[in-house]
Amino acid sequence: MGASIRLGRIRGVVVGLHWSVLGILVLIVAGLGATTLPEAVDGYRPGEYWGAAVRTGIVFLGSILAHEVSHALVALRNGVRG
């Protein structure tokens, strides 16, 4: 997995967070909080835009985790060992 932060195991599969995912998270949050959300929806305070951007980033990371864990579980079911 390379340079990553180990988060634990799910059914024997090592779960880690690669440093590049954190960079992507920063880009998503910054893009949403600074420009996209304020331009798309008027009338909120800056903190509310940034809060929504952070929540969106967390949901995005959760979806990546679910996607990758599903790959691992299908591989295990089909007898692939790492």
Residues involved in catalysis: 68
Token pair listed for 5: 């932060």
DSSP string, 12-74: TEEEEEEHHHHHHHHHHHHHIIIIIHHHHS-S--HHHHHHHHHHHHHHHHHHHHHHHHHHHHH
10 φ/ψ angles, rounded to the nearest 5 degrees: -125, 115
